[in-house]
């Protein structure tokens, strides 16, 4: 029986060309940390959050003014013309300069407002941290989306070459009479299908690359692939409740809501201060220069210095203060309830992310075993086809299964890496330094 030979020698030039192209592409490729650094200076959402953070810092500094003294300087001048018939007309004027100052001594509302301003700094830091964590995840997701699409296209191209080789073998076998036209038509149909899959993969890669370019602000961004062998780090700590505890202590969303509760309590204190007195230290100095008056002719100068205290005690405001206290107490309870609801939601999201990564790692091991089994099945079907105990469709199905498994395995590995970052984001511990372990696994 005729046994078709595999033209492996003809594939060597192609392999060398692909290797050269790969090496050339890596010389201009960017790592995950490189693209994240570029995104920090380009992404509009992150820049907006940073500007809001700067604005909140400036706003917090304004609250200090409520505890500091205020001073004012004023000047005035006037000129009068007096006509009393039959007496002659008279003109006279005056110039006035005044400096006044006030220092709050006891103002509970001002003190509470100052503390609220300081709390807003903590909320602004938490908000900026949440935006930074979101940017890390978005860049990482876009980065590995491109790598996954690249792998898919590579595997489709490899499958296309393998199917083309099988199609040529089927045609040769048909020509020498060792196989039927059915093998050729099956191979041709599978080849046409792979061509369609290649076009779809090329378009998917194009779309994913555009999304990455737009996110990081780099034209033609080229992510570095993972270096073989790929080793996925285990989860540390290996306890979902430990991750939940981290989220309780460090999650920026919870930090913002905790600050919101404290601000609500201070708002209640401000409302209660509506019943309390206020005490201010005041002082002023005035200089008045008169150029005559309506009673006398001649210049005069009067200097007046005043120091005192100003005391005010609210007596009755039409029950506005009492109702304001009721309002702030209700808002305080709302802030407490919102914090508890968010705590539960974040704890659930953290557990979900943990088990998602754990499941992803198990799937990677299963797909690695499936890849080995699929390769063995393909080799066996090729050998069986050569000796005549297998038909062409068996080889084609084995090829399709192998390359599909390879693409799924690559995607599963990327999902585990991104899932690890999302788990840290869910726990509120994600930092830019967490990209370093992933970066160390990339092709240098």
Residues 367, 268 within the same domain: yes
Average pLDDT over residues 226-253: 93
Domain total in the chain? 2
Question: What pLDDT is recorded for position 314?
Answer: 92
Q: For the segment 29-59, what is each residue's pLDDT rounded down to a tens digit?
A: 899 999 999 999 999 999 999 999 999 899 8
pLDDT grade, residue 300 (50/70/90)?
A: confident
* pLDDT attached to residue 291: 81
Tell me the CA distances in angstroms from 10 to 4, 5, 219, one per residue in order.
15, 12, 36
Check whether residue 235 and residue 298 sit in a common domain: no
352, part of any domain: yes
- Same domain as 346, residue 297: no
pLDDT digits (tens, 9 = 90+) for 364-412: 999 999 999 999 999 998 899 788 778 778 888 888 899 999 999 999 9
CA atoms within 13 A on the CB side of 412: 20
Within a domain: residue 237?
Answer: yes
Instruction: Look at residue 297 in the predicted model and tell me its pLDDT.
Output: 65
For helices 32-40 and 108-176, angle between their N-to-C axes, nearest 10 degrees: 140
Tokens 């590579």 sit on residue: 154
Looking at the structure, do residues 229 and 349 belong to the same domain, yes or no? yes
Same domain membership, residue 306 and residue 244: no
Asked if residue 1 has pLDDT above 50, the reply is no
pLDDT of residue 173: 78
Rounded to whole angstroms, the Cα distance separating 215 from 364 reads: 28
Summarised one tens digit per residue, pLDDT across range 126-165 is 999 999 999 999 999 999 999 999 999 999 999 899 889 8
- Report the mean per-residue pLDDT for the chain: 89
pLDDT at 296: 64
pTM above 0.95, yes or no: no
11, part of any domain: no
Place 303 in a pLDDT band, splitting at 50, 70 and 90.
Answer: very high
**Tens of pLDDT, residues 86-100:** 766 778 788 999 999
The percentage of residues in the chain with a pLDDT greater than 90, rounded to a whole number, is: 71
According to the model, what pLDDT value does residue 343 have?
96
Residue where one domain finishes, among candidates 295, 313, 331: 313
The confidence score (pLDDT) of residue 17 equals: 42
Task: Tell me what pLDDT residue 127 has.
Answer: 94
Average pLDDT over residues 323-335: 96
CA distance 381 to 22: 31
Contact between 63 and 117 under an 8 Å Cβ cutoff? The reply is yes
In terms of Cβ atoms closer than 10 Å to its own Cβ (0-12, 13-18, 19+), residue 109 is middle
Q: Above 60 in pLDDT, residue 22?
A: no
Domain residues for the domain of 261 are 32-68+110-276+319-439
Pairing label, strands 70-82, 90-106: antiparallel
- The beta strand positions in 49-89, using DSSP E, are 70-82
Pick the range with the lowest mean pLDDT from 149-153, 203-207, 227-231, 422-426: 227-231
Query: 357 in a domain, yes or no?
Result: yes
Q: Write out pLDDT tens, residues 257-297.
A: 999 999 999 999 999 999 999 999 999 999 999 887 666 66
Average pLDDT value for residue range 78-87:
78
CA atoms of 352 and 362, how far apart (whole Å): 15
Q: Would the pLDDT of 255 be above 70?
A: yes
Residue length, the chain?
Answer: 444
The confidence score (pLDDT) of residue 175 equals 84
CATH number of the domain within which 142 lies: 1.20.1600.10
DSSP tag of 226 = B
Please indicate, yes or no, whether residues 301 and 431 belong to a single structural domain of this protein: no
Q: Say if residue 355 is in the same domain as residue 217.
A: yes
């Amino acid at each position: 029986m005729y046994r078709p030979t595999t033209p492996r020698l003809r594939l060597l030039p192609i392999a060398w060309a692909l290797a050269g192209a790969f090496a050339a592409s890596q010389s201009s490729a960017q790592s995950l940390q490189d693209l994240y650094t570029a995104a920090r200076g380009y992404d509009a959402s992150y820049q907006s959050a940073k500007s809001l953070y700067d604005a909140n810092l400036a706003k917090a500094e304004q609250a200090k003014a409520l505890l500091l003294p205020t001073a004012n300087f004023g000047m005035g001048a006037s000129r009068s013309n007096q006509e009393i018939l039959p007496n002659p007309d008279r003109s006279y004027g005056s110039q006035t300069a005044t400096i006044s100052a006030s220092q709050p001594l006891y103002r509970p509302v001002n003190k509470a407002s100052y503390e609220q301003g300081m709390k807003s700094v903590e909320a602004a830091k938490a908000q900026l941290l949440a935006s930074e964590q979101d940017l890390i995840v978005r860049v990482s997701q876009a980065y590995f989306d491109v790598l996954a699409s690249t792998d898919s296209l590579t595997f489709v191209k490899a499958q296309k070459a393998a199917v083309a080789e099988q199609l040529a073998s089927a045609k040769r076998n048909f020509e020498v009479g060792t196989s039927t036209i059915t093998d050729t038509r099956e191979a041709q149909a599978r080849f046409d299908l792979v061509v369609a899959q290649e076009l779809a993969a090329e378009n998917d890669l194009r779309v994913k690359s555009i999304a990455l370019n737009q996110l990081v602000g780099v034209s033609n961004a080229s992510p570095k692939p993972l270096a073989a062998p790929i080793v996925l780090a285990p989860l540390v700590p290996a306890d979902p409740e430990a991750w939940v505890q981290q989220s309780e202590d460090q999650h920026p969303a919870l930090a913002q809501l905790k600050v919101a509760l404290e601000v609500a309590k201070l708002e209640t204190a401000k409302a209660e201060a509506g019943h309390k007195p206020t005490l201010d230290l005041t002082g002023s100095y005035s200089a008045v220069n008169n150029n005559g008056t309506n009673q006398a002719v001649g210049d005069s100068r009067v200097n007046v210095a005043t120091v005192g205290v100003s005391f005010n005690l609210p007596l009755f405001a039409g029950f506005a203060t009492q109702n304001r206290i009721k309002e702030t107490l209700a808002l305080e309870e709302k802030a407490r309830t919102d914090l508890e609801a968010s705590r539960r939601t974040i704890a659930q999201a953290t557990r979900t992310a943990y088990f998602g990564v754990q499941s992803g790692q198990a799937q990677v091991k299963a797909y690695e075993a499936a890849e080995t089994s699929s390769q063995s099945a393909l080799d066996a079907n090729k050998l069986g086809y050569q000796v005549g105990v297998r038909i062409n469709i068996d080889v084609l199905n084995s090829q399709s299964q192998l390359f599909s498994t390879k693409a799924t395995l690559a995607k599963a590995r990327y999902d585990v890496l991104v899932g690890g970052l999302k788990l840290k984001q869910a726990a509120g511990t994600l930092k830019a330094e967490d990209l370093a372990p992933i970066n160390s696994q990339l092709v240098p």
